[in-house]
Amino acid sequence: MPTIDAQPYEFAFPIPGTALIIIDMQRDFLEPGGFGEALGNDVSRLAPAVAPTRALLDAFRACGLPIIHTREVHRPDLSDCPPSKRVRGRGALRIGDPGPMGRILVAGEPGSDIVPELAPRPGEMLIDKSGKGAFHATPLQEVLARRGITHLIFAGVTTEVCVQTTMREANDRGYECLLVEDATESYFPAFKAATLEMVRAQGGIVGWTAPSAAVCAALRA
């Protein structure tokens, strides 16, 4: 099997059984006027992840490997949004409130879209999720099993919330997981750094980490 120069040691992956999962690269999180900013965050901190994620997309597309995009969104009636989630944080705007890009984190609104640079192409799966983890109340497990996927390469935002949650869900389900270090970001740099350390600690208790250049190099090889 090909390998990626990773931490805590090289990551071996089968070409037919590997997929890229890009978590929640949405306008509501990355652009001014969305949910991220409504919570008081500096959304510009997420921008550095866009170019490395696009490089991964290009590499996976060139190899014809599966690509899965996720979005955190809710139904317009918010029936899938627990009240505890909606009221938490006491931000200027809550989930479902009208904002500069439409209703916050609501399916079909402009803010829920993937940023244009990373927009899914025909044939790439787009999974909408109501929780932080992409396996919760979604068909992700069935999709991966049907396609014989055993290894997952992760990118997206935010590192310590939806990305880490999904990685841990995948780990519990037996998937081998690698988080691409520069293709993920957090509003809090210390939280990203801590998550990377947690993922690869104790011999990779959750998974591996590697820069996008190493992943792309392995795919080209």
Question: Strand, helix or coil at 20?
Answer: strand
Sign of CA dihedral 190, 131, 155, 163: positive
Task: Mark residue 174 as left, alpha or beta (left: phi above 0; alpha: psi -120 to 50; beta: remaining).
Answer: left
The total number of residues shown for the chain amounts to: 221
Catalytic option among 28, 113, 132, 162: 162
- Among 105, 166, 102, 179, smallest CA distance to 137 is for 166
Answer yes or no: 81 catalytic.
no
Catalytic option among 28, 81, 129, 177: 129
Answer yes or no: 192 catalytic.
no
Q: How far apart are the first and last CA of the chain?
A: 11
Answer yes or no: 162 catalytic.
yes
Catalytically active residues are: 24, 129, 162
